[in-house]
Amino acid sequence: MSEDKIRVRFAPSPTGYLHIGGLRTALYNYLFARKNNGVFVLRIEDTDRSRYVEGAVKNLIETLKWVGLDYDEGPEVGGEYGPYFQSQRLELYNNYSKELIEKGHAYYAFDTPERLRQLREEQQKKKLQPKYDKRDLNLSKEEIQKKLNAGEPYVIRLNVPPSEKVIVEDVIRGTVEFNTAIIDDQILIKSDGFPTYHMANVVDDHLMGITHVIRGEEWLPSTPKHVLLYKYLGWETPVFAHLPLLLNPDRTKLSKRQGDVAVEDYRAKGYLKEALINFVALLGWNAGDDKEFYLLEELIEKFELKQVHKAGAVFNIDKLNWLNGEHIRYKSPEVLLQMFKQEYENSEYAHLNFSDEHLLKIVKAMQERVTFISELITNCRYFYEAPNEYDPAVIRKRWKPDTPKHLTELINKFKKLENPTKEDYEHALRSTSERLGIGAGKLIHPVRLAVSGVGRGPGVFNLLEIVGQEEVIKRIQTALEKIKLEETLNNN
């Protein structure tokens, strides 16, 4: 194992979409590697053929690329420690399992599923921890060979010593002690000839020179089995770091039952990759201060494994939403425009054929007011179509008996403008308010209501410039007719 070069790996199983917890594991490995000028390896642990999902590997690689976690070695990239699919490394695992058998640290077991089920039921009745009873440990070489020749199904099990202490030094959890009395004789090679996770990951981590194993807390109980395997094969043990669980707000383990857990779900909903990475980084880690907004480069600079927490991390969707809005505000309007154009071209308003210049005005007007790019349409439909109704609460508050007269004066002023900018609209409105002897607000609020149908939004002069002179005048005239009609109906 290389002592001068840190090597870490992300080793997912291709059983579906990339889980948020998997993304965090990949991210922490990536950050640790980049911070320490190390190597980040992607390895596909595809030995459980019953759970293999077609297309999962392609999706996984695409998702890692989307979030910007570029790996140094692995599928499509290559490297000197390949192949990077465990299904292509079966001979290695079988060779090392035979070595363990020869050393007395593993053995063949020929149990039928019925016998194992019966053994488990008996142990449960006696309230014993279910574990294999080592029945086949003492079979003679002749008995074993006879069964193998007869084609009897078998597995290869780890021969765990009956009562030893196994010490695991964990960067996050400190010293963790296990007693082998409660550790099962783990299956290393299954009856189909494929290795279990335990055998394959130890062999591959060693052969690929992995120096630090950074993975989820759920693997901590299996770690003593891995430590024994390293010991029995005469290999140096890597540094372990087990990450805290991800929790729902009710502190249950994060699961599909309580919401989206796949990275693709969040991508489809319009979350920015920068916001998602920022959010996931904070699920169990902080730099020891109150800073919450990070770019990937800043995370690399700040990340330390020893600052990862032991306690479970709560998945707070409100914080993710807030971060998404913050990352939208951080980007330049020109960058947002390119993202917005995709939304616009797939929207019901694409037929309006707005120019990039026009769309950029919408971006600039709304950038401080949206959480998602899609809200540049859904939160401000008044940029694309005239309102069908007007907020009753705003009518009651802002539409006074003399409002129609004031707006009629303002319309006349607007009609005289030529190719007006927002500054022209502002000058026209303020000069009209002065001439009428009223505060500008008595025109601003009714104009906003008439043009947008609501009482809040971007600066009113931005609104007028974007909607355009002809349409602004038309909407104010329509509002004068409709709101008057509404008042008549309400009075009756």
Going by C-alpha positions, the residue among 435, 445, 447 that lies closest to residue 407 is 447
Asked if residue 319 and residue 440 are part of one domain, the reply reads no
Clarify whether 361 is annotated catalytic. no
Closest CA to 256 of 54, 53, 19, 51: 19
**Spatial separation of the C-alpha atoms in residues 53 and 12, rounded to whole Å:** 12
24 in a domain, yes or no?
no
> Of 210, 266, 323, which Cα lies nearest the Cα of 18?
266
Note whether 352 and 326 are same-domain residues: no
Tokens 């290795």, located at residue: 195
150 in the same domain as 291: no
Residue of 422, 429, 458, 427 lying closest to 443 (CA atoms): 429
Is 20 inside any structural domain?
no
Domain contains 152: yes
Domain that residue 381 falls in: 331-385
User: Does residue 34 sit within a domain?
Assistant: no
Q: 236 and 94 share a domain?
A: yes
Active-site residue, selected from the candidate residues 98, 165, 231, 256: 256
Which residues fall within 8 angstroms of residue 311, CB to CB, at 6 or more apart? 244
Query: Has residue 250 been placed in a domain?
Result: no
Residues 125 and 191 reside in one and the same domain: yes
CATH code at 318?
1.10.1160.10
CATH of the domain at 152: 3.40.50.620
183 plus 97 within the same structural domain? yes
Residues 127 and 212 in one domain: yes
Of 160, 151, 159, residue with least CA distance to 110? 151
Verify that 326 and 373 share a domain, yes or no.
Answer: no
Q: Which residue has the tokens 């921890």?
A: 129
Task: Give domain status of residue 78, yes or no.
Answer: no
Q: Along the 492 residues of the chain, how does pLDDT read in single tens digits?
A: 445 799 999 999 988 889 999 999 999 999 999 999 999 999 999 988 778 788 899 999 999 999 999 999 999 999 999 999 999 999 999 999 999 999 999 999 999 999 999 999 999 999 998 999 999 999 999 999 999 999 999 999 999 999 899 999 999 999 999 999 999 999 999 999 999 999 999 999 999 999 999 999 999 999 999 999 999 999 999 999 999 999 988 888 887 555 668 999 999 999 999 999 999 999 999 998 999 999 999 999 999 999 999 999 999 999 999 999 999 999 999 999 999 999 999 999 999 999 999 999 999 999 999 999 999 999 999 999 999 999 999 999 999 999 999 999 999 999 999 999 999 999 999 999 999 999 999 999 999 999 999 999 999 999 999 999 999 999 999 999 999 866 555 554
Residues 323 and 336 in one domain: no
270 and 231, same domain (yes or no): no
Three-state DSSP string of 358-391: HHHHHHHHHHHHCCCCCHHHHCCHHHCCCCCCCC
Do 324 and 338 lie in one domain? The reply is no
Q: Which of 385, 403, 426 is the last residue of a domain?
A: 385
User: Which residues, 6+ apart, have CB-to-CB distance to 261 below 8 Å?
Assistant: 19, 20, 21, 254, 255
In a domain, 371, yes or no: yes
Q: Are residues 237 and 95 in the same domain?
A: yes
* Domains held by the chain: number: 4
